[in-house]
Chain A
Amino acid sequence: MTTEAALPTRPAPHGARGGGRAAADILFGGQTGPVLVIVGVILAIWYAACLPMNSGLPSMPAEGDLAARYQAAWSLERPVLPSPHQIVMELRVSTCGRLPSDQPFWSAFFSCEIRWTPRNLLFHAWTTLSSTLVGFLMGGLLGVVLAVLIVHIKTLEKSLLPWIIASQTVPILAVAPIVIVVLGSLGITGLIPKSIISAYLCFFPVTIGMVKGLTSPHPIDLDLMRTYDASAWATFWKLRWPAALPFLFASLKVAIAISLVGAIVGELPTGAQAGLGARLLTGSYYGQTVQIWAALIAAAALAALAVAAVGLAERITVAALGGRR
């Protein structure tokens, strides 16, 4: 059948079939196999690209056979493109401290002694995460409140909604230093200015999603509420809010990722004090390329964790509400 590919294929049920193809099915029927293959391909290209990317640096040997030059390209102190294992090593060292030299490599690699100092990447990740979460809470609440107001007050719907969309076209990153300085002059420093930048970026998807969600009940349902002579309040709690929940969680997932971007951007102008953004900046400033990459990977891990946490909250909520979606 030629149209087979046009239909979204379901992952094959694991281990449901016998025969010699079972193992291949388990590997390649689902997502694991393909993902592993693609990640492998990316890593191979990455390793291969290290030499051409780094060959122009003054610290590279000009002569020598290919193997020796690759060896050199993978272990530079300030590469243009660091090799993956350099980044893994940097992550290990910047979270668990230096490798103890009295043990064989692998056991040393997995021993961990976490010191809570500014030298530790976890410390910076926590700094960024805390302002992300505060900004996410502020932005999420603001987003929901605005959406509720917009749905219920006609004036706001007409006057505010276009400006909410326009607000997102202001390059907040350009305004961030001004925000930090202005709040700093009011004596507000540290976490709050960064969180305000996060909140400014992340209230938007929540507002838009919730306006859609709160207006998603069918006219028939709204008419039914009216026949019961339900108050606006009852209509909201018993009909609009439950109908909006799936929209809420979908937009919260987007919002928390954006909030993280806001926190990192907010850390750039705050004078590089702490946080992953500060790590990116100082890494860039002192030419510590490997440190930039490690900070990027840490940011990626944070984003993945945060989005997963929102997904978990969604599952718990849906289960508590009896699985109605």
Chain B
Amino acid sequence: MSAPAQTRNRTDGIPAALVGLVAVAAGCLWALDAVHRPDLAGQAPAWFWGAIVAIWLAAWWATDRLARAVPPAPAARRMLDLLVPILFGAFLLFLWEIVTVGAGVPLVLMPPPSAIGARLVQSLPILAEDFVQTVLRAVIPGWALGSGLGIAIAVLCDRLPFLRRGLMPIGNFVSALPMIGIAPIMVMWFGFDWQSKVAVVVVMTFFPALVNTVAGLSASGALERDLMRSYAADWATTLLKLRLPAAMPFVFNALKINSTLALIGAIVAEFFGTPILGMGFRISTEVGRMSLDMVWAEIAVAAVTGSVFYGLLALAERRITFWHPSYRRR
């Protein structure tokens, strides 16, 4: 049910919720301490799991109050918007730790977050090397090149209708293909180092950029285009002043899709042959060596990288397409 317009200030739930959260945090600390004791680890009894469920319900109640609250100050509102997902994530990590330690899951299947965090801190130099090899040498250049080419060809298609009519059906077809399958072929063609990974990323990101930009270039309204024509603006001016800006939401959509595609593409390509560094190399090798804590540390780095990448693009999009109705205050 959508509530009536959210302009009314509602802060009455916050104090109770904060008290609840403090209680939940205390409960979590107790559980963490208890679960690592030798008499509980790996053989937690039913009453312990009952306590965990109780903590969960309390946490739900508190976050629910927080999520419904609307403080008057915008700064406080933003704080709340950040606080709620952070609490949720922290609680997920807590559950992961409790379940893996409490149920005695073997380390080689699912290490607890504490072990992963410890490994992450220990192996920072290795993780940094892998990050440079995979993200800075393969993902970013490939993503920029593939997306840039896609946008450029889209503009060219726009200028040459023949090309558009010929290329678009092919583009639509290819953008739905499982492009990941070309990874072994690219390793065969471009060798083992970052060049082959860039090639995979370029191919994977090119078509979404092309298809989305072409769709975006026809997004401006007939009214605005008529206005441009009444100014006697030529094709280039119309493109720069009206149609490219109007296409920006579509372009950013493609860039955001491509950011996750690029990361996945580079890591998968590394499964098919690499020098002895890189995220994909490390993940597949360490699985073979039973160092699952290292695997998850690498996955954590990848996930943070992907989230930051996506977040930066979302910020840029806000700045550039501030006029778009989806950013209006509801």
Residues of A within 8 A of B (CB): 2-3, 5-9, 11, 28, 30-31, 33-35, 37-39, 53, 80-81, 152, 154-155, 157-163, 165-166, 168-175, 177-178, 181-182, 185, 215, 222, 232, 235, 253, 257, 260-261, 264-265, 268, 276, 280, 283-284, 289, 292-293, 295-296, 299-300, 303-304, 307
Contacts and interface: CB of A to CB of B under 8 A. Distances in A.
B149 interface: no
Given A5-B159, A38-B167, A299-B181, A155 B303 contact: no
Interface stretch (B40-48, B193-201, B263-271, B315-323): B263-271
Contacts of B67: 154-155, 157-159
A169 B302 contact: yes
Contact of B162 (A34, A160, A165, A177): A34
Given A174-B280, A304-B173, A159 B299 contact: no
Interface string B207-248: 000000000001000000100110001110011000100000
A253 B229 CA distance: 37
Interface residues of B, number: 74
21 contacts: A3-B225, A35-B169, A39-B170, A81-B189, A159-B63, A159-B88, A160-B85, A161-B85, A165-B307, A166-B307, A169-B263, A169-B307, A171-B280, A174-B280, A174-B302, A178-B287, A264-B180, A280-B181, A280-B184, A292-B185, A299-B178
Given A173-B271, A174-B267, A174-B295, A159 B84 contact: yes
A28 B283 contact: no
Given A154-B68, A158-B67, A171 B235 contact: no
What does DSSP make chain A's interface, helix, strand, loop or mixed? helix
B184 A169 contact: no
Contacts of A5: 158-159, 161, 235
B225 A35 contact: no
Given A152-B1, A174-B267, A299-B177, A31 B299 contact: no
Contacts of B239: 6
Nearest to A253: B176
Contacts of B92: 163
Given A2-B234, A181-B109, A232-B1, A34 B295 contact: no
B14 to A, nearest CB: 14
B272 interface: yes
Interface string B129-159: 0000000000000000000000000000011
A265 B181 CA distance: 9
A7 B242 CA distance: 13
In this complex, the member of A34, A264, A289 whose beta carbon has the largest number of chain B beta carbons within 10 angstroms is A34
B12 interface: no
B182 to A, nearest CB: 7
Nearest to B81: A158
Best-surrounded residue of B159, B188, B305 (most CB of chain A within 10 A):
B188
B238 A3 contact: yes
Given A175-B299, A178-B287, A34 B271 contact: no
Contacts of A215: 2
A235 B88 CA distance: 29
Nearest to A280: B181
B260 interface: yes
B203 to A, nearest CB: 12
Contact of A163 (B88, B180, B234, B295): B88
Contacts of B174: 300
Contact of B264 (A166, A171, A232): A171
Contacts of B298: 174
B37 interface: no
A152 B176 CA distance: 32
Interface string B245-265: 000000000000000100110
A177 B271 CA distance: 12
B89 interface: yes
A159 B87 contact: yes
Given A6-B238, A170-B302, 15 more contacts: A2-B235, A3-B225, A38-B167, A39-B170, A155-B67, A159-B67, A163-B88, A169-B305, A171-B279, A171-B302, A174-B280, A178-B287, A260-B178, A261-B178, A307-B176
A185 B108 CA distance: 12
B165 interface: yes
A151 to B, nearest CB: 8
B106 to A, nearest CB: 9
A243 to B, nearest CB: 13
A235 B109 contact: no
A246 B30 CA distance: 49
B235 A163 contact: no
A165 B310 contact: yes
Interface string B44-87: 00000000000000001001100110000000000001001101
A53 B189 CA distance: 8
A166 B303 contact: yes
B152 to A, nearest CB: 17
Contacts of A303: 176-178
A178 B292 contact: yes
